Structure 1
Amino acid sequence: MFALDLVAVSVLVFGLYFPRHRRRDLVVAYLGVNVGVLAVAGSLSSSTVGAGLGLGLFGVLSIIRLRSTELDQHEVAYYFSALALGILGPLSGGEQWLVPALMGLILTVMYLGDHPRLFRSYGRQVLVLDSAVTDPLTLTVQLEGILGARVHKATIERLDLVNETTVVEVRYSYAQGRKAPTLAGVNR
């Protein structure tokens, strides 16, 4: 099962995450979390100390890690997938097919849920406008003109009436058949 975990986390990190998101620092984090959890869960499963204690410790560590730097939601999903694979690796009780099936389920869900073709016409941006816009309808019309897309939600994060700026988070979609343009270095 340890070898199966290493294969599964390699597929997760090198087959799914890195080719899609190209963030090298998280490759190390996902591998480290997985192998660390695998090692501790493996040693706790054969000791008198309860596995619950070890998993609780990793829960605390993961919360600290997730709070220490800003991660996008898809990165959090990969983080917990690597964590779950590491926990599943040392399990040997029950049916022999259950652990590989659960690992396969995690990989399948991540493959499909983070597939580039899924909702590719939808996007999210944080924009800084060079005008202070207080009216929601005016803001929506202005954003649709800038983006060339249908605005589903616009949330004003900061409105500066002195400097005439508006910081707004906007969720939008392009017309059917048109996908969102990809800009290097821009998070959507």
Structure 2
Amino acid sequence: MQAAADQGVEAIRILGVKLINPGDFFELLLRFLFNLIVTVVIIRFLYYPHSRRKDYFFIYMIFSVVVFLVCYSLASVSLQLGFALGLFAIFGILRYRTDTIPIKEMTYLFLMVGISVINSLTDKSVSYAELLFTNLVIIAVTWYLEKIWMQKKEDFMDIRYEKIELILPERRADLIQDIKKRTGLNVYRVSIDRINFMRDTAKIRIFYRQDSNVGPISKEAPKQTPPVDS
């Protein structure tokens, strides 16, 4: 009776298109929910607690949903690999045609695209166990990098330093201590890039660790307003 009912539902067509295919619809629903759960875990529980960027949270969720549905809808067309690579190419172009996106946020964007493509385009030759393992590996690697490896944020900055007597190798500890005191940064290493003996200055690249609760320090010089001729 149930089989006959399913056949009756499948027989209903609107303008030559089936009203519903129960088997395919159930697979779409299952894959969509699975992809949505993976996306929420990565974005809500790994990315968002550190960035607090609701705008990127919105972008990632929309991208994930749209890419998944587009890829799944076109899965019957033999464009799977080429289509996936084309998506990455399009987003690469968008990267250079829009406002600058931080490299970390761009990486998460590619991560969302990649996960959605994997979860939508894998055919029946890939078991659900393999698909689950693939997503768990991505989540585990992202968790390790975000929660453990990136906890001690490291950055660098180029400065002009006038106490040229401290650039001697044997006074490196004094140099680092002086820069720490004057900048308030947790400097742990320095590199002497250039020395100007005419002006008794040196260009030094300092490497420092940031507190995980403190945002990155801008390395750009403040913009100056050009003088106005009277």
State the TM-score, normalizing by the size of structure 1.
0.71
Q: How far 1:41 sits from its partner (Å)?
A: 1.3
Separation in 1, partners of 2:215, 2:33: 36
Q: How far 1:63 sits from its partner (Å)?
A: 0.5
Separation in 2, partners of 1:59, 1:20: 26
Q: How far 1:95 sits from its partner (Å)?
A: 1.8
Q: 2:66 aligns with which of 36, 44, 52?
A: 36
Q: Where do 4+ consecutive residues of structure 1 move more than 6 Å?
A: 132-136
Amino acid of the residue matched to residue 64 of structure 2? Answer: N
State the TM-score, normalizing by the size of structure 2.
0.60
Separation in 1, partners of 2:141, 2:192: 30
> Counting helix residues as a fraction of each chain, which structure ranks higher?
2
Higher relative contact order (CA 8 A, sep 6+): 1
Match of 1:85 in 2: 115
Q: Which has the larger radius of gyration?
A: 2
Separation in 2, partners of 1:27, 1:38: 17
Work out whether 1:25 is the aligned partner of 2:55.
Answer: yes
Q: Cα–Cα, structure 1 residues 42 and 8, in superposed 2: closer, same or farther, change >3 Å?
A: same
Query: Is contact 2:154–2:208 with CA below 8 Å preserved after alignment?
Result: yes
Uncovered stretches (5+) of structure 1, i.e. residues with no partner = 174-179
Separation in 2, partners of 1:127, 1:134: 15
Q: Cα–Cα, structure 1 residues 10 and 183, in superposed 2: closer, same or farther, change >3 Å?
A: closer
Q: Cα–Cα, structure 1 residues 45 and 119, in superposed 2: closer, same or farther, change >3 Å?
A: closer
Matches within 5 A, 1:37-56: 37-47=67-77, 49-56=78-85
Separation in 1, partners of 2:104, 2:115: 16
Q: In the comparison of the two structures, how many residue pairs are matched? A: 174
Match of 1:177 in 2: none
Matched residue SS, 1:80:
helix
Q: 1:172 aligns with which of 208, 213, 217?
A: 208
Q: Cα–Cα, structure 1 residues 77 and 96, in superposed 2: closer, same or farther, change >3 Å?
A: same
Query: Is contact 2:187–2:207 with CA below 8 Å preserved after alignment?
Result: no
Match of 1:66 in 2: 95
Query: Is contact 1:37–1:86 with CA below 8 Å preserved after alignment?
Result: yes
Separation in 1, partners of 2:150, 2:192: 21
Q: How far 1:57 sits from its partner (Å)?
A: 2.5
Uncovered stretches (5+) of structure 2, i.e. residues with no partner = 1-30, 219-230
Amino acid of the residue matched to residue 107 of structure 2? Answer: A
Amino acid of the residue matched to residue 78 of structure 1? Answer: Y
Q: How far 1:133 sits from its partner (Å)?
A: 8.6
Match of 1:176 in 2: none
Separation in 1, partners of 2:140, 2:94: 25
Identity %: 15
